């Protein structure tokens, strides 16, 4: 697979424009004071389907030829990518098939079903996902769209950072969460081309820290039984995303489960917007390491807002 370029990100922006929101960039005086920095929040929690995943999925679906798309698209996902792919498929008028772990949040199961996809459930392991997906593709002939290790998906995810750099030039750093690495590698691709002096940093749960360990080891270290409330960050890096991250990402910061919950609560209370745990991870990193980012202008990509309200015991 070929690493995407800024030209690919720009082409993706044109391709997906009719189907996604150009999300707002918000600020918060209270969080600035808490972090000792000037923060600019790219609010992908306001994106269609509730997360940045809509960008990459839409770019992938609309990049397919008519023949490739005819039998539909398929993927495996814990929720946000599955919902995004289902919505993108509906926009193009083709079927969608999604393999989901049985422990995926109910709100995300409902979203995938609501966009009209056929769901196949599996055990919550990568092996189970891949086996069920192979069976599904064999049965339907659908085109597989990987959740993150796909240059079309990465290019689409990079459009969020493209917009952020256009709206807020001269940032000192941009920070995103990292799971499979699609958002992070797309962000790195865009930021390095548009603003070479801007650092690209990622944040990850301590209890799902495969990206942190992989970057340190210089090779992919798969996640082993990740256990975090940030369900969107439980996946391991892919070969393509890891290659881009190794080249362009300066640091991956890990945060505790308690820090994630506290950061999510601060965003809810101070900004009056809903973000899911995965989106709160970079905020937790900024709150926990504020001296490193002191007096800097920081772009923060809030990755999504698909919260399972039945789990509000987070805050109890």
Same domain as 173, residue 105: no
> Order of strands across the sheet with 297-302?
25-26, 38-43, 297-302, 173-177, 199-205, 251-255
**Average confidence (pLDDT) over 203-216:** 96
DSSP state of 304: B
Please give the pLDDT value at position 108. Answer: 84
**Are residues 192 and 309 located together in one domain of the fold?**
yes
Looking at the structure, tell me whether residues 238 and 287 fall in a common domain.
yes
Summarised one tens digit per residue, pLDDT across range 112-130 is 999 999 999 999 877 898 8
Domain count, the chain: 2
pTM across the whole model: 0.94
Find the radius of gyration of the CA atoms of the chain. 18
Q: Using one digit for the tens of pLDDT, what is the confidence trace for 92-113?
A: 999 999 999 898 888 889 999 9
Residue range of the domain that includes 183: 6-52+154-315
Question: Could you count the other beta carbons within 10 Å of the beta carbon of residue 26?
Answer: 17
Whether 189 and 277 share a structural domain: yes
Q: Is 1 a domain residue?
A: no
The pLDDT score that the predictor gives to residue 292 is: 81
> Do both 18 and 34 map to the same domain?
yes
Helix (H, G, I), strand (E, B) or coil at 95: coil
| 104 and 35 co-located in one domain | no
Exposed, middle or buried: residue 23 (CB in 10 Å: 0-12, 13-18, 19+)? buried
* Nearest CA among 258, 146, 273, 131 for reference residue 205: 258
pLDDT at 316: 59
The residue out of 144, 168, 185 marking a domain boundary is: 144
Give CA–CA dist 71/58, Å, rounded. Answer: 16
The beta strands (E) that lie in 72-139 are given as 73-76, 96-101, 118-122
Is 149 part of a structural domain of the chain?
Answer: no
Taking only the tens place, the pLDDT of each residue in 276-306 is: 999 999 999 999 976 788 999 999 999 999 8
Please give the residue that has the higher pLDDT: either 315 or 296: 296
Residue at a domain's end among 87, 117, 144: 144
The residues, any chain, with a CB within 8 Å of residue 290's CB and separated by 6 or more, are 34, 35, 36, 37
Please say which residue of 86, 111, 144 terminates a domain: 144
pLDDT digits (tens, 9 = 90+) for 210-226: 999 999 999 999 887 88
CA distance 299 to 237: 23
What is the separation of C-alpha 31 from the centre of its chain, rounded to a whole number of angstroms? Answer: 22
**Has residue 64 got a pLDDT over 90?**
yes
* Spatial distance between the Cα atoms of 237 and 70, rounded to a whole number of angstroms: 30
Burial 82-94 (b: 16+ CB within 10 A, else e): bbbbbbbbebbeb
Averaged pLDDT score across all residues of the chain: 94
Direct distance between the N- and C-terminal alpha carbons of the chain, in angstroms, rounded to an integer: 46
CB 57 within 8 A of CB 144: no
Task: Identify each DSSP E strand in the chain by its residue range.
Answer: 25-26, 38-43, 73-76, 96-101, 118-122, 143-144, 173-177, 199-205, 251-255, 297-302
- The CATH number linked to 21 is 3.40.50.1100
CA distances from 119 to 68, 83, 163 (A): 21, 11, 33
């Amino acid at each position: 697979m070929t690493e995407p370029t800024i030209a690919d990100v720009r082409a993706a922006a044109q391709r997906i424009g009719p189907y996604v929101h150009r999300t707002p960039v918000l600020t918060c005086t209270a969080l600035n004071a808490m972090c000792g920095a000037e923060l600019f929040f790219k609010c992908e929690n306001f994106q269609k389907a509730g997360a940045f995943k809509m960008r990459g999925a839409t770019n992938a679906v609309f990049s397919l030829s008519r023949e490739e798309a005819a039998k539909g698209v398929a993927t495996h996902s814990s929720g946000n990518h599955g919902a995004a792919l289902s919505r993108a498929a509906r926009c193009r008028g083709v079927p969608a098939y999604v393999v989901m772990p049985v422990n995926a949040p109910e709100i995300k199961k409902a979203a995938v079903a609501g966009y009209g996809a056929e769901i196949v459930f599996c055990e919550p392991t990568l092996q189970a996902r891949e086996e069920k997906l192979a069976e599904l593709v064999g049965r339907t002939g659908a085109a597989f769209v990987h959740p993150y290790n796909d240059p079309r998906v990465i290019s689409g995810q990079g459009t969020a950072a493209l917009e952020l750099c256009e709206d807020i030039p001269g940032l000192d750093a941009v920070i995103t969460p990292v799971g499979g690495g699609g958002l992070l590698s797309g962000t790195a691709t865009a930021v390095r081309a548009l603003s070479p002096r801007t650092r690209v940093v990622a944040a990850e749960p301590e209890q799902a820290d495969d990206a942190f360990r992989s970057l340190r080891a210089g090779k992919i270290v798969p996640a082993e039984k990740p256990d975090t409330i940030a369900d969107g960050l439980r996946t391991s890096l892919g070969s393509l995303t890891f290659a881009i991250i190794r080249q362009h990402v300066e640091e991956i910061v890990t945060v505790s489960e308690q820090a994630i919950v506290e950061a999510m609560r601060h965003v809810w209370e101070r900004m009056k917007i809903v973000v899911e745990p995965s989106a709160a991870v970079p905020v937790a990193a900024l709150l926990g390491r504020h001296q490193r980012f002191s007096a800097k202008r920081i772009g923060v990509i809030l990755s999504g807002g698909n919260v399972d309200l039945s789990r509000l015991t987070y805050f109890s």
